[in-house]
Amino acid sequence: MKDKMANCAGFAAVARDDARVLILGSLPGAESLKQRQYYAHRQNSFWKIMAALIGAAPGLPYESRLERLMQHGIAVWDVCASAHRAGSLDANIQSPVANDLPTFFAAHQALTLLCFNGLAAEKLFHRLIAPDMPRTLSFLPGIALPSTSPAYAAMQLERKLLLWRAALERHMIIA
């Protein structure tokens, strides 16, 4: 049975003023939207990776996980504020509306790294955000990391963790 196209609206950014790393996804999946939590699908490896890096384990209450992210200088948001999509696959995103990332960047001057949670987030960023970025905000280095989505099963969790650790380690605040 074909999934019905739905209007999906994302969440507010999770960030403190001293954020050093911004992790950008594309748009929350169906389970995340249902639970109103970033990376809520139990097979998504985001919280497993954050458990290994900063102790934000999936078993902790959601608010505690978010607090751990912020304590370590990590911000989380999505490229898309909203879009139409059937199911949860990034390939099904249609009519995306971008979040106001230039304003976010201007308000978070301590950022040293922009990480894309998967290639779809990077492609959406370059299509929706980058063309309108003021030159003064184009200084931020960006890196596409392996998607933590359960739809990206081509890479084992251990390899994903290795790549995420290598990218984030020197940018995080050591709490």
Q: What is the CATH number of the domain that holds 113?
A: 3.40.470.10
Query: Catalytic residue numbers?
Result: 44
Do the domain assignments include residue 120?
Answer: yes
Q: Among candidates 80, 76, 103, which has minimal Cα distance to 13?
A: 76
Can you give the residue range of the structural domain that contains 160?
A: 5-168
Q: What is the pLDDT of residue 6?
A: 81
The per-residue pLDDT of the chain, averaged, comes to 92
In a domain, 103, yes or no: yes
Q: What share of the chain is helix, strand, coil (3-state, %, to 5)?
A: 35, 20, 45
Contact between 16 and 70 under an 8 Å Cβ cutoff? The reply is yes
Helix axes 46-54, 157-168, angle to 10 degrees: 50
* Interval 82-95: pLDDT, tens: 999 988 888 889 99
Nearest to residue 40, comparing CAs of 17, 58, 23?
A: 58
Give this prediction's pTM.
0.93
